[in-house]
Amino acid sequence: MLDKTLTQLAAGLAQGDFSSVELTQAYLKRIRSHNTDLNAYITVTDDIALAQAATADEHRAAGNAVPLTGLPIAHKDIFCTQGVRTSCGSRMLDNFIAPYESTVTARLAGAGAVMLGKTNLDEFAMGSSTESSYYGPTRNPWNRDTVPGGSSGGSATAVAARLAAAATGTDTGGSIRQPAAFTGITGLKPTYGRVSRWGMIAYGSSLDCGGPMTQTAEDAALMLNAIAGFDPKDSTSMDRPVEDYQARLNEPLAGLRIGLPKEYFGDGLNEGIRAAVMAAVSELEKLGATVKDISLPRTELSIPAYYIIAPAEASTNLSRYDGVRYGYRCKDPVDLEDLYKRSRAEGFGAEVQRRILVGTYALSAGYYDAYYKKAQQLRRLIRDDFQTGFQEVDVILAPTTPSPAWTLGEKSNDPVAMYLEDIYTLSTNLAGLPALALPCGQVGGLPMGLQLIGNYFEESHLLNIGHQYQQVTDWHQQAPVL
């Protein structure tokens, strides 16, 4: 039963094929068997999961089941979960027990979901491979010598390896979509402000988005129904009605206009990925879509703009970790300055320190206008490119990544090479647009994916297209052999 999708498991629970306790026990057994090898989870919450599953079975027996009642999922360890360690993959928060619940995890719990545990990630979500975690790298279940992508690599591996029915992730510059592509699952980055950031520990406040990581677009719609919506505790949350994201899944695609941005199909794109993405385009044309070449001319500026804005925001957000209030504290400081310096130097890893330094420099007197202000101006131009494109087409289709998953350690000592792997995802975050990553093929036995980019609050349209594509292909059904 662990090969079933979230939607299929919900149907099985409703029909009484198995109980939530039985389902949860099966996932926990699989986690015990494979997590040591894959390192998808930082914390496994066995007792909490079984207690929640028992409560879910009681609610279902009483006729009080809601859409996610009894379904076991995992949370990226960047979402605060009351009474459970929330580490952000960092030594800095290794001992942090969250005193409150994030809005995303609270809404999923309110929808009946069972929490299996907290998944691994690049430290403070800064990375593209889940190698910078204090708890060691997560491995791609398709090939354990390769990365699963990042920063939501633990969640991606958990879903791909069937160690969870679904998982939450966060996307600051592609951190849901890229690991989804590398592990052969579906990942949705919602419109900025559609999902509350309250209780999601901040990296880049104007970029961070929480979203679902699932086997299918249909499952992602089920998850988004639970987590989307206005939250008065989040000042960036959009006060806008929530659609039923499952309502449009079966709409035909006749008349759909798809744009192919030439900047995403140029030099540097793996030829196997190019062929698989174009094969997916052909399938969508068979379903009634038309295709048009478009241009997003400032795509190449997304990397320099992002790697000024995100580190600048990280520098500000991570200034609170000082060894005084909570988190890691160095031993035997000689004075307050020593406490600050050694706690941060020992608590943060190399990549986090690198981004804090870059961000602090960009915000410093004399450099703010030259770097941060200029990057924000580029951000607006990138947004304008998308809006020009959406005057011609309904949705933009592109590869998610320029290459398949690389070998563990291959890019660890070359941060620029790592940053370049985000070229196809960063601009979507800078513009605040929604995007859906879907598996569409394999290269050398490793999964890869395409992404659909929509206009603001067009999540239901993206999920409709993704679902229709998955009705005529089976890439989403393929799973690694463990």
170-205 tens-digit pLDDT = 999 999 999 999 999 999 999 999 999 999 999 999
- Measure CA 256 to chain center: 27
Tell me, yes or no, if 262 is annotated catalytic. Answer: no
Q: How far is CA 177 from CA 188, 400, 421, in A?
A: 7, 7, 12
Task: Determine which one of 19, 90, 129, 175 is catalytic.
Answer: 175
Which amino acid does the sequence have at 337?
A: E
Q: How far is CA 59 from CA 8, 70, 313, in A?
A: 19, 9, 43
Model confidence pLDDT, tens digit, residues 73-82: 999 999 999 9
Q: What is the DSSP letter of 53?
A: H
Task: Determine which one of 19, 20, 76, 128 is catalytic.
Answer: 76
409: containing domain: 1-482
Where does the pLDDT of residue 415 fall: very low under 50, low under 70, confident under 90, or very high at 90 and above? confident
Arithmetic mean of pLDDT, 247-270: 97
CA 435/CA 439 separation, integer angstroms: 13
Number of folded domains that form the chain:
1
CA 394/CA 455 separation, integer angstroms: 8
User: In the chain, what is the greatest distance between 2 CA atoms, to the nearest angstrom?
Assistant: 70
Residue 230 pLDDT: 98
Tell me, yes or no, if 76 is annotated catalytic. Answer: yes
Beta-strand relationship, 395-399 and 257-261: parallel
DSSP per position, 422-470: TTTTHHHHHHT--EEEEEEEEETTEEEEEEEE-STT-HHHHHHHHHHHH
CATH number at residue 169: 3.90.1300.10
pLDDT at residue 366 above 90?
no
Model confidence pLDDT, tens digit, residues 311-324: 999 999 999 999 99
SS3 content of the chain, % helix, strand, coil (to 5): 40, 15, 45
Beta-strand relationship, 446-453 and 395-399: antiparallel
Tell me, yes or no, if 237 is annotated catalytic. Answer: no
Taking Cα atoms as reference points, which of 206, 118, 110 lies closest to residue 155? Answer: 118
Arithmetic mean of pLDDT, 22-30: 98
Residue 365 pLDDT: 87
**Whether this model's pTM surpasses 0.95:** yes
Which amino acid does the sequence have at 416?
A: V
Beta-strand relationship, 186-189 and 435-443: antiparallel
Task: Determine which one of 19, 128, 129, 151 is catalytic.
Answer: 151
> How much is the mean pLDDT over the chain?
97
Where does the pLDDT of residue 352 fall: very low under 50, low under 70, confident under 90, or very high at 90 and above? very high
